[in-house]
Amino acid sequence: MLILVRRQEGYAGIVLPCIAGVTKKISPSIAAAREPGFLWGVSTSSFQIEGAARSDGRGDSIWDAYCRQQGRVKNGDTGDTACDHYHRYSEDIALMRDMGVDAYRFSISWPRILPRGRGAANDHGLAFYDRLIDALLEAGIEPWICLYHWDLPQAIHELGGWQNRDVAGWFADYAALVAHRYGDRIKRFATFNEPCVFTLFGYGLGWNAPGIADKAALHRAIHHVNLSHGVAIDVLRATVPHASLGAIHNRQPCFPASPSADDAAAAQRFAEYWNNAFPHPQHFACYPQHLAEAIEPYLRPGDLAQIARPVDWFGLNHYSPHYIKADSNLIGATFGVPPDDVPRTAIGWPIVPGAFRETLLDLHRRFRLPIYVLENGTAADDKLDEAGRIQDPGRIAYLQAYTSAMQEAIAAGADVRGYFVWSLLDNFEWASGYSQRFGLVYVDFDTQRRVPKASARWYSDYIAARRTSPIPASGRAPLNETEAR
Ligand code: FCB
């Protein structure tokens, strides 16, 4: 087994500390996971598209409860119907097949298959994912499962949710159910999607479900999610032969929003939560220095080893860099305004393809794992034109710029193996409700009619072109001599 001793480096001018000299083990199963070709895909998540919230025995999730609280979600929108994907999955798979994607990443709704989060399973819910997986395989599309994309069963929340250490056991049981049921057909599993976002926004800042803003709650949640990741990796590894496993993290350079020292310190603090609170314990068996003290009260002997289980790839979600300013909130930092000359998308996120290229290269240097970009894309103010079509040149330009940046990173040595657009469909964009359209396919939420946008055609042509002229595999840059021992 190859052991690397890693050098700690700054990132985009900001030093992101972890304990120096940490050892990193590379999983022997990486070799088994090597893909013959680059994968082009699309991503979605259960709560954002499925709907059928009260059908066939599904239990409530924290997002159902959160949507019912007045003022939490824009326009009082809910996930009750969403894209009605639960009933229209065949049509959605046909859209993907027409687009020519290789792979589809979706998440399992924990409360759909375990309505109380634990205990008795719901056969109807389990059967839904059987149908979905079988139809994907029949269409020649590789299914990628994410176990957790933010829809915690409300019943688990009522037992303390991510704040209760027992959640690791409940999550392991849920992972075992999924692995036993679908492991004959699925090889790719991710444990969590963007743990930094749902913990920080849900438990630290109160912007997402379950709407808590409490420092201790945040730190407990961070540690218990990390622990749950580690135990789920063990369960999946033990249950699914040749499983190819990872977690999905977003990493964004965090730039100070102004030259002030306060903003510089805020950007550094924010980056600890955003970029390092999960990848560091999961890959290096340590918390970043400034978080270590806060997590200490919840840490038990053996936890870090349990968390840092070898994985096969690093799942990256990336949309933009952040411009961070000091704030009086409980982490002392929040989103500031990007400089005037930085263009922004409809949702206000900065468009900086160069930051994507640098993020990929930084990831490659730090983690030495195959990288799958599992979310990238943009919201746009899409409207049907008189001919009933959607022209979305802004999204096409964004995707062109970001895929070019990815190719530059690959040419410079980043080991990127796949790219998935967020998202297949316009969908429920969390606290923004249905006001932000991220889909390659437009959804008329009154009629549930789907209309592929111009960007869907662009992506389809782009994938077809890459088949005849594939992206050359990265040179897998040799390790820097000071890193390798
Ligand atoms: C990511 C989430 C995804 C979606 C996109 C726009 O942070 O993982 O569910 O909301 O942003």
Residue 472: predicted pLDDT: 80
Helix (H, G, I), strand (E, B) or coil at 419: strand
- Ligand 1: atom nearest CA of 250 is 7
Q: Which of 50, 151, 193, 375 to mutate to test the pocket of ligand 1 (most atoms within 8 A of CB)?
A: 375
Residue 209 contacts residue 63 (beta carbons within 8 Å): yes
In order along its 485 residues, the chain shows pLDDT tens digits of 222 222 222 222 222 234 333 333 333 333 333 346 899 999 999 999 999 999 999 999 999 999 999 999 999 999 999 999 999 999 999 999 999 999 999 999 999 999 999 999 999 999 999 999 999 999 999 999 999 999 999 999 999 999 999 999 999 999 999 999 999 999 999 999 999 999 999 999 999 999 999 999 999 999 999 999 999 999 999 999 999 999 999 999 999 999 999 999 999 999 999 999 999 999 999 999 989 999 999 999 999 999 999 999 999 999 999 999 999 999 999 999 999 999 999 889 999 999 999 999 999 999 999 999 999 999 999 999 999 999 999 999 999 999 999 999 999 999 999 999 999 999 999 999 999 999 999 999 999 999 999 999 999 999 999 998 888 877 554 433 333 22
Residue 475: predicted pLDDT: 57
Give the Cβ contact number of residue 63 at 10 Å.
28
- Ligand 1: atom nearest CA of 430 is 10
Ligand 1 and 44: CB distance under 6 A: no
Angle at Cα 137 formed by Cα 58 and Cα 139, nearest 5°? Answer: 110
pTM of the model as a whole: 0.92
**Nearest residue by C-alpha to atom 4 in ligand 1:** 429
Which residues are paired to 245 by β-bridges? 189
Centre of ligand 1 from the C-alpha of residue 78, in Å? 16
By CB atoms closer than 10 A (0-12, 13-18, 19+), residue 326 is: buried
Give the Cβ contact number of residue 217 at 10 Å.
21
Helix (H, G, I), strand (E, B) or coil at 193: strand
| Dihedral (Cα; 199, 56, 94, 96), 10-degree rounding | 10
For residue 194, indicate whether it is catalytic: yes
**Nearest residue by C-alpha to atom 5 in ligand 1:** 422
Cα–Cα dist 97/80, whole Å: 27
What angle do helix axes 454-468 and 393-411 make, rounded to 10 degrees?
30
Centre of ligand 1 from the C-alpha of residue 431, in Å? 11
Centre of ligand 1 from the C-alpha of residue 149, in Å? 9
Ligand 1 and 317: CB distance under 6 A: yes
Ligand 1 and 45: CB distance under 6 A: yes
> Who's near 204: CB < 8 A, 6+ residues apart?
212, 213, 214, 215, 217, 218, 273, 329, 330, 331
- Ligand 1: atom nearest CA of 48 is 9
Helix (H) or strand (E) holding 188: strand 188-193
